[in-house]
Structure 1
């Protein structure tokens, strides 16, 4: 996907998120974020959008802290939309030679990193808002979902912060079954941070396969590892994933 595609996704998913949040009601519980209500979800994403904007617009080379925000309920929707609009504008205006702080591998430049990261951040939390609303989920584009699997596995979970570890070496394989060609990730789990490669590498202890959209949401623990997905091998590997893979 191109950077411009991620920016388009960010804007669309942000508007869908706040619409679902307003439909659900700010006091509704978010089932996929234990302890959170919709108000907390909207505040979190709005703060993250402003945090990302600072790095892009101010070309910060060191990480900034998340901004504090105390917003009355009646102003929360406008506050969220304003932050979303500002972030989209900052990314639109940034050049591909932008230099600022980033925190994941796998993107060509800082502008591409922030557009990609915020597109996925907002998409996953849009799903949270729709689950709080109790309605059917809006679809996730297949290419976006496949890219999000790659960002999660090869980006987040190859960092030292990943808690997905095993005293016994294990291999988890993830395979898409839709699209023009299957995409495969092989994750090796040890007592160190995971390593992730593209393609089949060794015999998997467990394989999770299915359409990219369902894999994306299941690996982000927004949907169960069932219902349209196929699990082959040791299901305990997926239980380890669900218990340890939370991103903070």
Structure 2
């Protein structure tokens, strides 16, 4: 996807997150993150938005810590979130393609990295806000959802910090039925290795629409939301070890 498309989705998902959080109320429980209330979701995501904006606008060449979460609630917190989200969208829109700053996943450029990462960061947390209203809906555009699956499998879980490990090697295949995208994830006692191929045997296959798979792989929908074929233990391994945490 192009940078402009990622920025478009970042803008839309952030607006949806804020609107959904406002309808739910900041004291509502977030079903997908049992320890959180909506206020925690807004504080966290707003903090991440400001953290990302600092790299884009200040050009930090190495890791730079976030400023922390505010002690805000209610309408004041929603206003703070919307302001920070808007600043991030503007910063990425106005940044030159030659932007040089720190990034933690391979990408064509730092601007491309931050636009993609923040679009999916926001989309996943928009699903969290939905859960506070009672249901997570797999309503993302197929091409955006497939892009997010690719970032998760080929990017986030290619890092050494991934906890998806198993002493017995296994192969997990992920098949998006609406976009025809296929990922083959090789699991072992090392970080997962994902290739974009349909070849070879797989111990387990997850299939469904790109949006269903996106949310299931991010543990925002239950495994029952997609079709699981083969060894369900491999799917459960993913469910139990794949959580991405802020640290």
TM-score (norm 1): 0.95
Q: CA deviation at 1:125?
A: 0.5
Question: Any residues of structure 2 matched to 1:48-63 within 5 Å, and which?
Answer: 48-63=48-63
Question: Any residues of structure 2 matched to 1:63-142 within 5 Å, and which?
Answer: 63-68=63-68, 69-105=70-106, 107-134=107-134, 137=137, 139-142=139-142
1:226 aligns with 2:224: yes
**Aligned positions, number:** 244
Q: CA deviation at 1:71?
A: 2.1
Match of 2:168 in 1: 168
**CA shift digits 1:180-211 (9 cap, x unpaired):** xx111111111111111111242100011111
Q: Which runs of 5+ in 1 are unaligned?
A: none
RMSD: 1.2
**CA shift digits 1:83-122 (9 cap, x unpaired):** 01110110011111111000012x2111010000000000
2:193 aligned residue (192, 195, 204)? 195
- Partners of 2:218 and 2:135 lie apart in 1 by 19
- Partners of 2:92 and 2:217 lie apart in 1 by 27
- Partners of 1:12 and 1:136 lie apart in 2 by 17
Match of 2:2 in 1: 2
Match of 1:20 in 2: 20
- Partners of 2:151 and 2:92 lie apart in 1 by 19
- Partners of 1:127 and 1:136 lie apart in 2 by 6
Q: Which runs of 5+ in 2 are unaligned?
A: none
Match of 2:241 in 1: 244
TM-score (norm 2): 0.96
- Partners of 1:138 and 1:176 lie apart in 2 by 13
1:183 aligned residue (181, 184, 191)? 181
The answer (yes or no) to whether the contact 2:158–2:191 under 8 Å persists in 1 is yes
Match of 2:211 in 1: 213
Structure 1 residues 138 and 15: alpha-carbon distance in aligned structure 2, compared to 1, 3 A threshold:
farther
What SS does the corresponding residue of 2:195 show, helix, strand or coil? strand
- Partners of 1:136 and 1:149 lie apart in 2 by 17
